[in-house]
Amino acid sequence: MVREPALSAEQIVSFQENGFLVLDNLVPAEDLEAIEQEYDAALDEHAKRLYLQGDIADEYADLEFGARYARIISEYPDLHQFLNISLPLLNEDIDASTFHMHSGPAAFHLMRHPRILNVVEAIIGPEIYASPVQQMRMKPPEKQLSDALAGHSNVGATTWHQDIVALFPEADETEQLTVWLAISDASIESGCLVSIPGSHREGPKTHCSNDAIASEPQVPDKLMQGRAGVPLPVRKGGAVLFHKMNVHRALPNLSQNLRWSMDLRFHPIGQESGRPAFPGFVARSRSNPLQELHDAQAWAASWDSARERVLSGQHGGRIFEDRRWNDAAVC
Ligand SMILES: O=C(O)CCC(=O)C(=O)O
């Protein structure tokens, strides 16, 4: 069977030239209903648990999803870790009570959405590994965030960076592709991404360490020399593909609504993820489909095992890279 490529030749050239590509309507809105329902149920569960523990003053059950999330996170900032699709990026001071994540079946099945894998295949080929370098970002209106939370890119604005920055050196040559999916509309007002076209050809940039949140090293403004970049607004279900060297950031959410996205990363099977403490899986293999993981429970179990390995000290090393691109003379 001859398959239609998911991207046109022009789109592939545009990705190669700019280091990013915007795709409208990649995932149909009806295919996002499962994740919306799963997160509604998860938020309800967390609200009940946190209220019982005395961590929040009310379950806020009468609020709609975005408003409820914003209200609860203002009282219990670690909530975002429980709803993320990665364990927290911490190299030290790990608190087992908040070293948690969300690993529900809707999240897993969305990562394997055929329309996502089709565009990934068009860029990196048919042997596709889903990297554990992945995040669910749920950003309430910025004016409702404490300063500490506003500095965390899962919840507040994201500073200039290249995705390679948090990977270990063994992934330097990995053809890692980022797929950033809008689960709600991402407009300039609500905090869409901004990219510097062609920056993926400029080599690795200095990223200054962030003392407050170690997992957030950033290219300092003085190196950006006023480059504004191109804002990339997308509607719900749209996506942005990124080369791992592309310099990008996300604007603050100045709207009244939740800005919700999921960023996934894929690379050819056999290459390094650059985050060995965490598990990935074979998402598609045209040569050996039997390797593919279709079982959401097995995926969740692989993250449970990673959590155990980290907490028990069996994984002795660090989880992410945060200092490699630091330059004391600039930072
Ligand atoms: O959504 C965001 O705020 C940032 C996403 C991002 O920078 C990425 O996916 O690399």
Question: What's the CA gap between 315 and 141, in Å, rounded?
Answer: 37
Q: What is the pLDDT of residue 2?
A: 65
Whose Cα sits closest to atom 10 in ligand 1?
163
Percent of the chain with pLDDT over 90: 90
Q: Ligand 1, residue 261: give the atom nearest the CA.
A: 1
Question: What's the CA gap between 17 and 12, in Å, rounded?
Answer: 9
**Ligand 1 centroid to residue 184 C-alpha, Å:** 14
The residues, any chain, with a CB within 8 Å of residue 224's CB and separated by 6 or more, are: 160, 247
Whether 4 shows a pLDDT value over 80: the answer reads no
Instruction: Tell me what the mean pLDDT of segment 272-283 comes to.
Output: 97
Q: What is the pLDDT of residue 70?
A: 97
Q: What is the pLDDT of residue 327?
A: 92
Please answer whether residues 142 and 291 qualify as being in contact, where contact means their C-beta atoms are separated by less than 8 angstroms. no
Q: What is the pLDDT of residue 1?
A: 63
Instruction: Tell me what the mean pLDDT of segment 80-100 comes to.
Output: 96
Please answer whether residues 199 and 247 qualify as being in contact, where contact means their C-beta atoms are separated by less than 8 angstroms. yes
DSSP 8-state symbol, 193: E
**Ligand 1 centroid to residue 135 C-alpha, Å:** 8
> What band does 242 get if pLDDT is binned at 50, 70 and 90?
very high
Q: Ligand 1, residue 186: give the atom nearest the CA.
A: 1
Residues flanking ligand 1, CB < 6 Å = 137, 153, 158, 163, 178, 180, 248, 250, 261, 263
The mean of the pLDDT values for the chain is 96
Question: What's the CA gap between 314 and 94, in Å, rounded?
Answer: 14
Q: Does domain 9-29+103-202+217-312 have CATH number 2.60.120.620?
A: yes
Q: What is the pLDDT of residue 147?
A: 84
| Mutational pocket test of ligand 1: of 134, 153, 254, the residue with most ligand atoms within 8 Å of the beta carbon | 153
Q: Ligand 1, residue 263: give the atom nearest the CA.
A: 9
Please answer whether residues 269 and 128 qualify as being in contact, where contact means their C-beta atoms are separated by less than 8 angstroms. yes
Residues 212-241: tens digit of each pLDDT: 888 889 999 999 988 999 999 999 999 999
pTM of the complete model beyond 0.85: yes
E strands, the chain, in order: 20-23, 127-130, 135-139, 158-161, 177-182, 193-195, 230-232, 239-243, 248-250, 259-268, 281-285
**Ligand 1 centroid to residue 87 C-alpha, Å:** 16
CB-count exposure of residue 114 (10 Å: 0-12, 13-18, 19+): exposed
**Ligand 1 centroid to residue 288 C-alpha, Å:** 32
Whose Cα sits closest to atom 2 in ligand 1?
250
Question: Quick count: other Cβ atoms within 10 Å of Cβ 197?
Answer: 15
Phi-psi region of 203 (alpha: psi -120 to 50; beta: other; left: phi over 0): left
Residues 183-207: tens digit of each pLDDT: 999 999 999 999 999 999 999 999 9
Instruction: Tell me what the mean pLDDT of segment 167-175 comes to.
Output: 95
| Mutational pocket test of ligand 1: of 80, 193, 195, 266, the residue with most ligand atoms within 8 Å of the beta carbon | 193
Question: What's the CA gap between 269 and 291, in Å, rounded?
Answer: 10
Q: What is the 3-state secondary structure (H, E, C) of 213-225?
A: CCCCCECCHHHHC
Whether 27 shows a pLDDT value over 70: the answer reads yes
Please answer whether residues 264 and 179 qualify as being in contact, where contact means their C-beta atoms are separated by less than 8 angstroms. yes
Please answer whether residues 57 and 98 qualify as being in contact, where contact means their C-beta atoms are separated by less than 8 angstroms. no
Residues 114-158: tens digit of each pLDDT: 999 999 999 999 999 999 999 999 999 999 998 888 889 999 999
In terms of Cα–Cα distance, which of 11, 13, 20, 23 is closest to 182? 23
Q: What is the pLDDT of residue 180?
A: 98
Instruction: Tell me what the mean pLDDT of segment 44-60 comes to.
Output: 98
Phi-psi region of 125 (alpha: psi -120 to 50; beta: other; left: phi over 0): left
Q: Ligand 1, residue 191: give the atom nearest the CA.
A: 3
Q: What is the pLDDT of residue 5?
A: 76
The residues, any chain, with a CB within 8 Å of residue 69's CB and separated by 6 or more, are: 43, 79, 83, 138, 140, 258
